[in-house]
Amino acid sequence: MTSLIQRIAALKPADANGASPSTRNGSAAPKQLLEDKTGSSHLIEVVGMNKSYGDVRVLSDITFYVRNNEFLTLLGPSGCGKSTTLRILAGFEQPDDGQVLFEGHDLTAIPPFQRKLNTVFQRYALFPHLSVFENIAFGLRVKNVPKQEIAGRVEQALRTVDLQGYGKRWVDQLSGGQMQRVAIARAIVNKPMVLLLDEPLGALDLKMRKEMQVELKEMQRSLGITFIYVTHDQEEALTMSDTIIVMKEGVIQQIGRPIDIYNEPRNAFVAGFIGESNIIPGQMARDYEVGFAGRTFCCVDKRFADEAVDVVVRPEDIDIGEPGEDRVNGEVISVVFKGVHYEMLVESEGFQWMVHSTDHAPEGSRVGLSFGPDDIHIMAKSDFSPDRLHPGEGIDGPDADEPATIEEDPSGGAWT
């Protein structure tokens, strides 16, 4: 099986400029970002951005940068402020304070149509009374681009989204996936430097969504433009992005490459949101030694001497076998066959361990779980720690079926 983690590992690191992902985290050093102009490839910088609607704070101290040609994803549960962030970048909303810089210039006074950004919304907002060609050509006609040039650019855009020959069709003759492609073609025909995509695949069925994920990623590479992508689907974010920004309730929780976010989640929220996790309260005994589940384990972490911590062990990193003295012993309380692996719940001293394995242990059997020092990830305690959450509060994981917000694209995507 190609597991999620193998697919992530196969992704090329995006940090070609050598900046450590940790310097990109949340409110870290906004001043440094601002000063970092010499030869900087930061296309966009968002610094200390806040936004409230009435009394409700929806964005708190949002600080991040976007590199040229990067595929950057804003990821988080519904209502965490992803679309608001995107709308501010596009210019449809103003932040209460903070700055958005584009190539070092403040964007505040620049109206949406003069920004070098184009938005693709979840609902495609295509004109049903126009052909595919005319839908894509619309923005160019508004700008009085010569006819000859329009024809060439629309053809090129159709080729890019793999819809050659569809120009004469009516949009209501198209499938959902084809409409989505037209919406993308309509955005890229304007040759934007940045494409903002707000849950663009949300309306597609799972199979089509997976295909479009691959195609979008290829498109981004071949067009060589920057994508800022919004999704609540962690797998989508992990497979497509160079960089992921994980948000919750208007606060950036972590910024990093998919592999870093997966392997080194910063807190229990990120660990729970990005893939399935066993999150166990633990106590660092000393460097490289952590106590949890009633035992002491070797680990590769040395940051938290003497501290209470959260320990993450991914279900696929656990080996399941015979009980033994050096293992976490327990009873299998449920087994679900997931197609390639089994998902098993093993109860041990009141904790239920989730295990993903191609080895099968029947329900009711006694087993021993083992994992190596590399499989133990240590996180600082946070408000999201399992033993600090109030009853009824969970880490709301991604929900692929959740209806995403529907948005209008008032100008029909005709901005430059």
Looking at 24, 42, 67, 82, which residue binds ligand ADP (CB under 6 A)? 82
Which residue number has the CB closest to Mg ion? 83
Choose from Mg ion, ligand ADP, none: what does 365 bind? Cβ within 5-8 Å by kind: none
User: DSSP for 245-301?
Assistant: EEEETTEEEEEE-HHHHHHS-SSHHHHHHSS--EEEEEEEEETTEEEETTEEEE-S-
Contacts of 340 (CB under 8 A, 6+ apart): 1, 358
Helix (H, G, I), strand (E, B) or coil at 309: strand
Choose from Mg ion, ligand ADP, none: what does 277 bind? Cβ within 5-8 Å by kind: none
Based on the shown chain and the rule CB under 5 A, indicate whether residue 405 belongs to the binding site for Mg ion.
Answer: yes
- Residue pair 244/73 in contact by the 8 Å Cβ criterion: yes
Residue number, 87 or 327, with CB nearest to ligand ADP: 87
Q: Which residues in the 121-180 window bind ligand ADP by CB under 6 A?
A: none
Of 205, 271, 242, 351, the residue nearest 21 (C-alpha): 242
Give the gyration radius of the chain's Cα atoms: 24
Contacts of 383 (CB under 8 A, 6+ apart): 389
In the complex, the smallest distance separating the C-beta of residue 199 from ligand ADP, rounded to whole angstroms, is 8
Residue number, 84 or 213, with CB nearest to ligand ADP: 84
Choose from Mg ion, ligand ADP, none: what does 53 bind? Cβ within 5-8 Å by kind: ligand ADP
- Residue pair 290/296 in contact by the 8 Å Cβ criterion: yes
Contacts of 77 (CB under 8 A, 6+ apart): 232, 248, 273, 396, 398, 399
Helix (H, G, I), strand (E, B) or coil at 165: coil
Q: Is residue 35 packed enough to be buried (19+ CB in 10 Å), middle (13-18) or exposed (0-12)? A: exposed
In the complex, the smallest distance separating the C-beta of residue 362 from Mg ion, rounded to whole angstroms, is 44
Residue number, 296 or 405, with CB nearest to Mg ion: 405
**Binding residues for ligand ADP, how many (CB under 6 A)?**
11
- Pairwise CA distance, residues 87 & 200, whole Å: 14
HSE-CB for 241 with a 13 A CA cutoff: 29
Residue number, 51 or 153, with CB nearest to ligand ADP: 51
In the complex, the smallest distance separating the C-beta of residue 85 from ligand ADP, rounded to whole angstroms, is 7
Of 81-89, 99-107, 127-135, 319-327, which part binds ligand ADP (CB under 6 A)? 81-89
What the block records as the tokens of 182 is: 């037209």
Helix (H, G, I), strand (E, B) or coil at 370: strand
Residue number, 40 or 405, with CB nearest to Mg ion: 405
Write each residue from 57 to 96 as x if it is in contact with Mg ion (CB under 5 A), else as -, in one continuous string.
--------------------------x-------------
In the complex, the smallest distance separating the C-beta of residue 405 from Mg ion, rounded to whole angstroms, is 4
In the complex, the smallest distance separating the C-beta of residue 79 from ligand ADP, rounded to whole angstroms, is 4
Based on the shown chain and the rule CB under 6 A, indicate whether residue 83 belongs to the binding site for ligand ADP.
Answer: yes
Q: Which residues in the 49-78 window bind ligand ADP by CB under 6 A?
A: 53, 58, 76, 78
In the complex, the smallest distance separating the C-beta of residue 245 from Mg ion, rounded to whole angstroms, is 14
Residue number, 43 or 58, with CB nearest to ligand ADP: 58
What the block records as the tokens of 61 is: 């101290």
Q: Which residues of this chain interact with Mg ion, rule CB under 5 A?
A: 83, 405
- Note the residues at the interface with ligand ADP (CB under 6 A): 53, 58, 76, 78-84, 405
